[in-house]
Amino acid sequence: MDPLSSCSIQPADRENLPLRESSKSLENGYVYINAGKSTLREHAMEQEARPCSSTVSIATAEQWERELLEDPKNRLALSALSAHDPKAILTQRSTVIADTQNFNTKIAFEGAPITNQKSSGRCWLFAATNVFRVAVMRTYNLKEFELSQAYLFFWDKLEKANYFLENILDTRDEDLDARLIQTLLADPVSDGGQWDMIANLVEKYGLVPQSLYPDSFNAMNSGVLVSLITTKLRENALELRHLASQSPDPRASLGSVKEKMMQDIHRILVLLLGPPPNPKEKVTWEYYDKEEKFHELRISPLDFAAELHSNDSIKANGGTDIHRLFSLVNDPRNLYGRLLRVDRLGNVTGMRKTTYVNVDMTTMKNACIAMLRHDLPIFFGCDVGKFSAKSSGIMDPDLIDYELGFNVRLGLSKAQRLEAKESAMTHAMVLTAVHVIDDKPVRWRVQNSWGDAAGSKGWFVMSDRWMDEFVYQAVVDPQFVSQEIRDVLKQEPKM
């Protein structure tokens, strides 16, 4: 299965060009345009058949330009669109008014403060720790709190380096220019990740408060770190492949070589991020609770994470053990009710693999609503660059009217967008509320990790139709889905 993504791309890194889909109805995962000639196929059927030109004609382009600018509306559009951000010009005021931060179903305790991943692709780590911290804050009676995203970031980078080198050894017999090898070499240690990868990190390394391992400059600005480690790992990959080709049993003979490679990566990480706490050694956490009462706790990162398994923590979270959460995904390219897995997407060798239960959007949304009604936040993954505005925090297919501005009709379905690489899961955030009318969701409240200057003091709002089109994943508690969905986890996954 092609990966939906690793949630590592930010709007500053890749500004997706959204395509408007208006007057549409959804049926079996496909989009239909109701008015006018909705597809090039229909248009072509009405045109005179003639050979396709293989070149661009200057004369034809001049004719198109004359025809375009004969219309005064197009001249007005030229003046406006060429001098300003098209998104700002084409933003629909009615949509901005409709998408309010008012919700009739909202968790009582959303967690604070609003976090900021800065210039890094750590959205998945921020979204996950924003979910985890709600349980911690309830357990320790805290007003504000952050878990250390940098702590997980450090160990994730080290584990991904090892995972990459293991993949290189596993695929040593493949040609260097094979698609698989080139895919591995393309992005050995990206900032992005998936829920199962978070679960692996927490199980192996635990959690620590941010005050005990705060962000360094290179955690907040990860470009140099990623570039340096990527360059070194590509060099290591070529060396490993060469040495493996000369050895009858590479794993038995190249242990010291690989260990030296890993030591180099560890050195880079320590010098750029700082030495992290030992997962098994106790650290001292000092904090004030909501009543300004001072507390001191001596505990290891592993034991701190294990507290989320405790009876008190589970009780505080309405009977939910956050370590049991799993991913629902909506990928209409594949059959619903199937377990999907992305081959060689992971971080910790020998632990959980990246898997999803593929469901329709109604099933996913019903599970999310049930969790919110039980006072639980939800980690979710989406294509954040589509029909969204960072300044207002609005995500809605009706927000930006590209059809009005450019007189083009585009109607790819969700499945087609995935197939054509027009959409992918680029960002992870947290759901904390939903507005429901007549048992149907209308809009959703979203906690982002872009700081409090984005959106409404850091909060975004997502229309339900945007959720249908651009949300791909929600991480849920098994108790909020049917037995039929839980049984999918027992299937042999489709790769």
Catalytic residues: 123, 427, 448
| Distances, alpha carbon 126 to alpha carbons 114, 201, 394, in Å | 10, 14, 20
Instruction: Please enumerate in sequence order all residues whose Cβ is within 8 A of that of 156, keeping only pairs 6 or more positions apart, or say none.
Output: 125, 193, 197, 201, 347
Nearest to 130 by CA among 458, 396, 468, 392: 458
CB-CB contact of 208 with 283 (8 Å)? yes
β-pair type (427-437, 378-382): antiparallel
Residue indicated by tokens 């800065």: 118
**Separation between Cα atoms, residue 234 and residue 239, nearest integer Å:** 9
Element spanning 95, H or E: helix 93-98
For residues 114, 119, 120, 125, the Cα torsion angle rounded to the nearest 10 degrees is 0
CB 443 within 8 A of CB 25: no
| Spatial distance between the Cα atoms of 306 and 41, rounded to a whole number of angstroms | 58
The answer to whether the beta carbons of residues 375 and 294 sit under 8 Å apart is no
The SS3 call for residue 310 is coil
Q: Which of 480, 143, 477, 159 is nearest to 308 (CA)?
A: 477
Q: How far apart are CA 336 and CA 488, in angstroms?
A: 10
According to DSSP, the residues that pair with 326 across neighbouring strands are 476
Closest C-alpha among 164, 153, 220, 224 to residue 188? 164
DSSP secondary structure letter of residue 211? G
